[in-house]
């Protein structure tokens, strides 16, 4: 399915107060999960579970939905059951943890749509939503660095706003980022300082864990 179809599904998902509602970035990542057949996948920071739904629909052997918020895990479980049914729910594990505890969970692929608004943009975010977007740090990439530092998966797939210049960054222990998809998406008004017309490129990037020598 394409981004618009996943955005439509995202709009139907149960999302509790304080849980991240599926965004266009989330829908873009969901649309890129069609290669997950027979893989074990982690949906890191699952929110309402749109990416988990996409991976399960694509035939993932098993999906681990991870979030620090138990309400997000509850929403994800209900949404998977409602959209895909009980058989898909049986291939879903819920994991309440933060990203510093990712290491024990081994998987073929970890997918994440991380908080990526640079700290300077946060004052433009409504106070009741700020906790959902905090974590990008000065350059917007602190959250994905945290994921990469602790991930136990062999591959990590992430969204990144083009304005963050993700392709120019180096991440110790990981391959250079490889772009697997790029598209133009509308941005939230909080991005205006970096994306003045609020329409810009967003990439899906994949990194592979590098094997230590010897």
Can you give the pTM of this predicted structure? 0.95
For 26, 53, 59, the CA distances from 168, given in Å and listed in that order, are: 23, 31, 33
Each residue's pLDDT tens digit, 11-47: 999 999 999 999 999 999 999 999 999 999 999 999 9
Task: Place 136 in a pLDDT band, splitting at 50, 70 and 90.
Answer: very high
Query: With contact defined as beta carbons under 8 Å apart, do 200 and 159 qualify?
Result: no
For domain 3-208, which CATH number applies: 3.40.50.2000, 3.40.50.150, 1.10.10.10, 3.40.190.10? Answer: 3.40.50.150
Each residue's pLDDT tens digit, 39-75: 999 999 999 999 999 999 999 999 999 999 999 999 9
Which residues are 68's β-sheet partners? none
Task: Place 211 in a pLDDT band, splitting at 50, 70 and 90.
Answer: confident
Choose among 79, 78, 65, 98: nearest CA to 10: 79
For 14, 42, 79, 148, 171, the CA distances from 49, given in Å and listed in that order, are: 9, 11, 7, 21, 27
Task: Place 212 in a pLDDT band, splitting at 50, 70 and 90.
Answer: low
């Amino acid at each position: 399915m394409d981004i618009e179809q996943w955005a439509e599904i995202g709009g139907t998902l149960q999302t509790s107060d304080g849980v991240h509602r599926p965004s266009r970035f989330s829908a873009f990542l969901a649309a890129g999960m069609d290669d997950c057949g027979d893989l074990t996948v982690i949906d890191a920071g699952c929110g309402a579970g749109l990416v988990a739904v996409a991976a399960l629909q694509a035939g993932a052997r098993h999906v681990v939905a991870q979030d620090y918020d138990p309400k997000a895990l509850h929403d994800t479980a209900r949404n998977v059951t409602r959209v895909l049914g009980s058989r898909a729910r049986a291939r879903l594990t819920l994991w309440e943890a933060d990203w510093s505890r990712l290491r024990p969970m081994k998987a073929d692929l970890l997918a994440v749509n991380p908080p990526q608004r640079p700290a300077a943009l946060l004052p433009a975010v409504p106070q009741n939503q700020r906790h959902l977007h905090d974590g990008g740090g000065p350059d917007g990439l602190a959250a994905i660095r945290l994921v990469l530092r602790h991930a136990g998966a062999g591959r990590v797939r992430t969204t990144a706003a083009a304005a963050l210049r993700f392709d120019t960054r180096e991440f110790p222990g990981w391959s250079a980022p490889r772009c697997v998809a790029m598209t133009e998406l509308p941005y939230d008004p909080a991005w205006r300082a970096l994306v003045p017309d609020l329409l810009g490129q967003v990439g899906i990037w994949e990194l592979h864990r590098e094997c230590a020598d010897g």
